[in-house]
A and B are shown apart, each in its own frame.
Chain A
Amino acid sequence: MKNKRLMHPRNIFRTPPDYTELAIKYKEFRKVCKLELNGRVCIDYRNESTLRALTQMLLEEYFQLRVEFAPGSLVPTLPLRLNYILWLEDLITSLKLADAADVRGIDIGCGSSCIYTLLGARKNSWRMYALESNDVNLEFARSNVKCNNLEHLVEIFKQTNKLIIFKDFFDSKPNVNFHFCLCNPPFYDSTLPNPFHGKTRNEDKRTPPHNCHTGHDEELACEGGEVQFVHRIIEESELYPERIGIYTSMLGHKSSVGRIIEILTKKQITNVSTTEFCQGNTTRWGIAWSFSKDFQLDAHSSLKV
């Protein structure tokens, strides 16, 4: 992995797992591996069913989580999801937001895998509240939580209104405040003529991606893309400044980071921090903002990359 050295220090995937051993252990994973002449297995990352089997195996091996994905839905990649969770862990501990036993977080758009919620609950025993609007995804998410016996830590909330994120949820929980929210927004802008094509100058010269494209259109693109989506979160956060300690989101494109910071500056939200998630051949960005007077997000340099 190219960005191995920049992965979060506590990320267990800093050293790549021994896939041959894992193939010996897990039958379903073995089926999607290729056996090389020298006895090692190799993984074809460009195949959707391989990616799905890979993530399921890693979740089971390292987190004892048995997860089913809705067919055709986004297959999460574990190192990236872990990097995000680890960043949140750092924010919570260094800012002394709460005792470990008491943390409450919101997952905006948890998807069918409900992966951030499950990781947060399993790894850190956080109380997670997962918001999701798609019915099929909701069904899978509920089933995943149940299968892993995390119902005591996780609550799944159906979003009836796609355009308003927090209102219905906050109304249903009038006296509860939350320590953080996280979001993995649809990266791409559905209004553009070619939403999934990068802005490369020369398509032929750029190497094709090392993995393959998974996910429904709805999970990947929305009107205005991630900038618009996060903009909406920001606007709603202004209405509820005290209800969530740290608002965070992931961003898929480097250019979006600057644009979001611009939006935050215009709204005079200054308690802001950014970070990079580096793993494999991809880099993503995280942005956090807060209205709290008790701490400064970027005072802790270890959080900022």
Chain B
Amino acid sequence: MDINREITLIKPIENEKNAEKRKANYNKNSESDVKKTKLQISLETPEKLPKPADTFTHEHSAGTINLPLKINCHQSPKKRLEIAPVIQNNAKEQFIYGNYNKYYGYRNKGNECIDKRLEVFAKRVELFENKQLLDIGCNSGLITMEVAKRFDVKSIVGLDIDRTLINQANKALLRQKKALPFENNARCLHKFPYNVSFVHGNYVLRDDVLLEIEHAQFDVILCLSITKWIHLNFGDIGLKQAFRRMYLQLRSGGKLILEAQPYRNYGRRKKMTDTINANFKAMLFFPEHFNDYLLSADVGFESFEIMGIPEDCAEGFKRPIQIFHKK
């Protein structure tokens, strides 16, 4: 039998078998492959197999096969077509800090500029105008810059633990600055984009005692979708310290805008690193306790309110955004 006919015959059986195999693989490997798990909360149909014909051509033309199909010439026809497992991105980073590098495209369904949270913010413009802000875990700085642009802030600093992302953010900022008309007062007036800056670092301090020398310097702190990552990487102690640091960094009358992931989102990431796994297992402080902790004497916020819930976005991202008030 010539190979072409072999493949055509075997193809339907393989498809079914592998659909099952892939589904099994899918649930196991989802951690490592964020890019493929778009809108992942609902189960999706697995991706299509690459057509055998493509592979075959490749084999003929070049010497190398670089599609996930390898042909074993020595075994029985059924075994000859072996589907290689889904290529895992474990060579690449695992984004253990949630420091995804195409985050905003993924979150906003490919529409990077229209983050639905900005609509929630837009209803309370007075919180931002002419204020000094801190954005913890700013990733590539998209929200940081949008907030600065739309709400006319006095200054906003974006902090992130990943230097590459901060570099990207700074590059984007530079592009904005170069795009301005030649003669403009933005710099002197400290208007966008001159009211934005980025810092690379870990918000969680090496030791709690350093909180003693922390001082008030911001009117508003944005803590958006970052609590899960602090919690998993630095444990209960790390997150509690971060909450205390946020309070200390706020001025009197300051606000903490908090968007915390619920606990059900934690499980998927629990195996990323040994530290994360250990922290997950040892967790005694859960998202349902956050409000009480923030309002307690350990931190000291006076009250909180619900700012809003973003609409028109993926179910997984419809998290309530809260505002905590400091007296």
Interface of A toward B, CB cutoff 8 Å: 20-21, 23-24, 27, 30-31, 33-41
Contact = CB atoms under 8 A, between A and B. Distances in A.
Contacts of B206: 20-21, 24, 39
Nearest to A32: B213
Nearest to B218: A37
B207 interface: yes
A20 B214 CA distance: 13
Nearest to B161: A38
A13 to B, nearest CB: 22
Nearest to B208: A24
A30 B212 contact: yes
A23 B210 contact: yes
22 contacts: A20-B206, A21-B206, A23-B210, A24-B210, A30-B212, A30-B213, A35-B205, A35-B213, A35-B214, A37-B134, A37-B159, A37-B201, A38-B200, A38-B201, A38-B202, A39-B202, A39-B203, A39-B204, A39-B206, A39-B210, A41-B210, A41-B213
B144 to A, nearest CB: 14
Interface string B190-204: 000000000111111
User: Residue among B199, B202, B205 with the most chain A CB within 10 A?
Assistant: B205
For A21, A36, A39, A41, which residue has the most chain B Cβ atoms within 10 angstroms? A39
B3 interface: no
A22 to B, nearest CB: 12
A33 B159 CA distance: 21
B215 interface: yes
Contacts of A23: 210, 213
B157 interface: yes
B209 interface: yes
Contacts of B209: 24, 27, 30
A38 B210 contact: no
A243 B327 CA distance: 72
Residue among B159, B206, B215 with the highest chain A CB neighbour number at 10 A: B206
A173 B207 CA distance: 54
Contacts of A40: 201
A20 B206 CA distance: 8
Contacts of A20: 206, 210
A113 B285 CA distance: 50
Q: How large is the interface on B (under 10, 10 to 19, 20 to 34, 35 or more residues)?
A: 10 to 19
Q: Which 5 A-B pairs have the closest CB atoms?
A: A38-B201, A24-B207, A35-B213, A39-B205, A37-B199
Contacts of B213: 23, 30-31, 33-35, 41
Given A20-B206, A24-B206, A24-B207, A39 B212 contact: no
A39 B215 contact: no
Contacts of B200: 38
A31 B134 CA distance: 24
A21 B202 CA distance: 15
A35 B199 contact: no
A34 to B, nearest CB: 7
Contacts of A33: 213
Contacts of A37: 134, 157, 159, 199, 201
A20 B212 CA distance: 13
Interface string B123-138: 0000000000010000
A165 to B, nearest CB: 45
A31 B213 CA distance: 7
Given A20-B206, A23-B210, A30-B209, A35 B215 contact: yes
A39 B207 CA distance: 9
Given A24-B209, A30-B212, A30-B213, A38 B199 contact: yes
Interface string B209-250: 110111100000000000000000000000000000000000
A27 B215 CA distance: 16
Nearest to A37: B199
Nearest to B217: A37
A25 to B, nearest CB: 9
Given A37-B157, A38-B159, 10 more contacts: A20-B206, A23-B213, A24-B206, A24-B209, A24-B210, A30-B209, A30-B210, A30-B212, A36-B201, A37-B201
Contacts of B159: 37-38
A36 B207 CA distance: 14
B214 A39 contact: no
A24 B212 CA distance: 10
B169 to A, nearest CB: 14
Contact of B201 (A21, A24, A34, A39): A39
B267 to A, nearest CB: 29
A35 B210 CA distance: 8
A107 B277 CA distance: 60
Nearest to B207: A24
A33 B206 CA distance: 15
Nearest to B209: A24
Nearest to A31: B213
Residue from A23, A30, A34, A35 with most neighbouring chain B CB atoms (10 Å):
A35
Contacts of B134: 37
Contacts of A38: 159, 199-202
Contacts of B214: 35
Contacts of B210: 20, 23-24, 30, 35, 39, 41
Nearest to A38: B201
A38 B213 CA distance: 14
